[in-house]
Each structure stands twice: as structure tokens, then as C-alpha cells.
């Protein structure tokens, strides 16, 4: 691609951003579709967010991805925020439309599309979601609308209950929030179709840990992990051995990026190309399938 006077710019802002996979994924996608857009990473420290957003506005950046620690704080600087992102309290994608900044959260949609693209239809199914942090919240908001039943388990029970309450208040659903323990896992997993790990358990360097005892996993499950380092977590290894279907954390990362790409360009994202470059970048960082 030739950079010229008409090249548009997208960027990720956060701290740190150096190891983000988004620049390689989006640049490969822009190139594949012949779009005159480049994607760069800007490290932005906490106190600099307001100025960074003003800069993005004044320079006419096309779009931004927002990562830690700015996902919540950025909302106050936007013109409009999609209702789900507002309810979650986190924006990870911004579109600049003729100087107006619109905020979105593509994490939950990314997770649900990852399931569908892997031939898992959540409709009428029971999902057991582990975790109640930022990632879990985004997934829960989408899953509540797309599954038959949702149960949230979290190490800190209070956070699971608060998330369930927020969902029930927002959607009029009957989501339950419980503590994450061997007992609750045993009870819930028997009737679960889709298990999603949205905790950080199993992430490198703690690769030999799993949030679920292996003997509770069964062949009727689809197990998705949001951890993508390692690509095959202990949970996914155990799930495979139990005969369950598995979906790796790379899929959610890929589809949250694909949704952002579509918001900026109005073009379907070339996900195969994005996946290929994300895998090579991970391999460079020592993360292999």
C-alpha cells in the first residue's frame, strides 16, 4: 500500500500497547481490501487521555481502539456511546464521523460471533460464564440477549451477584450469579451447553492452571477461553480430552477486531487474513498453537 495525501489513520491507544495484535491484523485487512488506511499504536498514559482524544479529533483520525487503562474513562470524552457500551461502562472502539466521536464495545459481539463461526448456536442454550471482570461483563451483556440461560460464576461472589443483578435490571432476565467453586461448577456444568472462561486463570506464565477441575468437563460441552496466551490453555486441553468442542481465545480477539473493522470501513472484514497474521505475530512473541 502506498501512503499518500489521502491516507486515513486508525490507531490503538492504551498503556502498554507495544504487544497488541491489532496493528498487524488491521493493516493486513486494509491491504487485502485495497483500502487507503493505516493502523498504528499510540501509548497513552493515564493523565494524557483527554489530550489524546482531542488530538484524534483535531487530526481527523478515522477510528480508534481503546485498551487498558482507558476503556471506561474515555466515555466522558465521546459525543455518543452505544447503549450496551454505556451500560458495560467500557468502550473499545471509536468511530470518528465528520468530527463526531461514537463509542462502541465489540468484545461481547466478538465472543458471540466467535461461537457462531465455530458452528455453536447459542440460541436456547445454557451458558456458564466464569468471571465478572471487564471482559466477562462485555460477554455477559451480549450472551444474555442471545442464549436461553446464563449463569455467572466468580471467585468473588459479590461481583457475580452484582453483574447478574445489572443484567436482570437491564434485560428483565433471570441470570444468576454464584461463587466459583468445585461445588457450584459441578452443579452447573451438568446442564451447561457452553462454558466460557472470562477469568485470567490459565494465562501465561500460569499455564498449568485451569478454573475447572478436568473431571467435571464432558463431551456435551463447547468450551471457549478468552485467554489466548497460550493458544491452547489447560482448560482447552482438558476439554478436548473430555471430548468437548473447543474455541480458542484468538477467535474472540479476531472477531472483536472484525466488528471494529466493519464499523470503520463498512466492509466485511477479511477474517482469514487477519487470523493468519495474528498467528504469525503470536509465534514471533513465542506463542504457538
Residues with catalytic function = 71
Rule CB under 6 A: say whether 156 interacts with ligand ATR: yes
Region from 93-101, 107-115, 162-170, 194-202 binding ligand ATR, contact rule CB under 6 A? 194-202
Instruction: Please pick, from the candidates 135, 235, 236, 269, the single residue that binds ligand ATR as defined by CB under 6 A.
Output: 135
Contacts 24+ apart (CB under 8 A), 275-281: 275/250, 276/28, 277/24, 277/25, 277/28, 278/21, 278/24, 278/25, 278/250, 278/253, 278/254, 279/250, 280/24, 281/21, 281/24
Residue nearest to ligand ATR (CB): 133
Q: Angle CA(229)–CA(231)–CA(233) in degrees, nearest 5?
A: 85
Rule CB under 6 A: say whether 91 interacts with ligand ATR: no
Rule CB under 6 A: say whether 189 interacts with ligand ATR: no
Instruction: Please pick, from the candidates 49, 94, 136, 189, the single residue that binds ligand ATR as defined by CB under 6 A.
Output: 136
* Other Cβ atoms closer than 10 A to 19: 10
- CA gap 74, 95 in Å, rounded: 13
By C-beta, is 257 or 270 nearer to ligand ATR?
Answer: 257
- Rg (C-alpha) for the chain, rounded Å, is 19
Instruction: Please pick, from the candidates 155, 161, 218, 245, the single residue that binds ligand ATR as defined by CB under 6 A.
Output: 155
By C-beta, is 55 or 133 nearer to ligand ATR?
Answer: 133
Paired sense of beta strands 194-197 and 176-179, if any: unpaired
By C-beta, is 9 or 128 nearer to ligand ATR?
Answer: 128
- Decide if 118 contacts 251 (C-beta within 8 A): yes
* Least distance CB 201 / ligand ATR (angstroms): 5
Instruction: Please pick, from the candidates 26, 159, 234, 281, the single residue that binds ligand ATR as defined by CB under 6 A.
Output: 159
Instruction: Please pick, from the candidates 55, 89, 133, 220, the single residue that binds ligand ATR as defined by CB under 6 A.
Output: 133
- CA gap 127, 145 in Å, rounded: 12
Region from 25-33, 56-64, 127-135, 251-259 binding ligand ATR, contact rule CB under 6 A? 127-135
Write out the three cell numbers for 265. 470501513
By C-beta, is 59 or 68 nearer to ligand ATR?
Answer: 68
**Span 207-246, contacts to ligand ATR by CB under 6 A:** 211
Q: Which residues pair with 13 in a beta bridge?
A: 42, 66
By C-beta, is 131 or 270 nearer to ligand ATR?
Answer: 131
* Least distance CB 212 / ligand ATR (angstroms): 11
By C-beta, is 78 or 132 nearer to ligand ATR?
Answer: 132
- Decide if 256 contacts 104 (C-beta within 8 A): no
CA distance between the termini of the chain: 30
Binding-site ranges for ligand ATR (CB under 6 A): 131-136, 154-156, 159, 180, 199-201, 211
Amino acid at each position: 500500500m502506498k501512503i499518500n495525501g489521502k491516507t486515513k489513520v486508525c490507531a490503538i491507544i492504551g498503556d502498554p500497547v507495544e504487544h497488541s495484535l491489532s496493528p498487524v491484523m488491521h493493516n493486513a485487512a486494509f491491504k487485502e481490501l485495497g483500502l487507503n488506511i493505516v493502523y498504528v499504536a499510540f501509548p497513552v498514559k493515564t493523565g494524557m487521555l483527554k489530550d489524546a482524544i482531542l488530538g484524534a479529533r483535531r487530526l481527523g483520525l478515522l477510528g480508534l481502539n481503546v485498551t487498558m487503562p482507558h476503556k471506561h474513562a474515555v466515555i466522558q470524552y465521546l459525543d455518543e456511546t452505544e447503549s450496551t457500551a454505556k451500560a458495560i461502562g467500557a468502550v473499545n472502539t471509536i468511530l470518528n464521523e465528520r468530527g463526531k466521536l461514537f463509542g462502541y464495545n465489540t468484545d461481547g459481539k466478538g465472543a458471540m460471533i466467535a461461537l457462531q463461526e465455530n458452528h455453536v448456536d447459542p440460541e436456547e442454550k445454557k451458558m456458564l460464564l466464569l468471571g465478572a471482570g471487564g471482559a466477562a461483563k462485555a460477554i455477559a451483556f451480549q450472551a444474555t440477549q442471545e442464549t436461553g440461560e446464563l449463569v455467572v460464576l466468580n471467585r468473588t461472589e459479590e461481583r457475580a451477584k452484582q453483574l447478574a443483578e445489572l443484567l436482570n435490571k437491564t434485560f428483565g432476565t433471570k441470570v444468576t450469579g454464584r461463587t466459583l467453586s468445585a461445588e457450584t461448577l459441578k452443579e452447573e456444568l451438568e446442564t451447561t451447553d457452553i462454558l466460557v472462561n472470562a477469568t485470567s486463570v490459565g494465562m501465561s506464565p500460569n499455564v498449568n492452571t485451569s478454573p475447572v477441575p478436568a473431571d467435571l468437563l464432558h463431551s456435551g460441552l463447547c468450551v471457549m477461553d478468552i485467554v489466548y496466551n497460550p493458544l491452547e490453555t489447560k482448560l482447552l486441553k482438558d476439554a478436548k480430552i473430555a471430548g468437548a468442542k473447543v474455541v480458542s481465545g484468538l477467535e474472540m480477539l479476531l472477531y472483536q477486531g472484525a466488528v471494529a473493522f466493519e464499523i470503520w470501513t463498512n466492509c466485511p472484514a477479511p477474517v482469514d487474513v487477519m487470523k493468519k497474521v495474528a498467528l504469525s505475530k503470536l509465534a514471533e512473541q513465542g506463542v504457538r498453537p
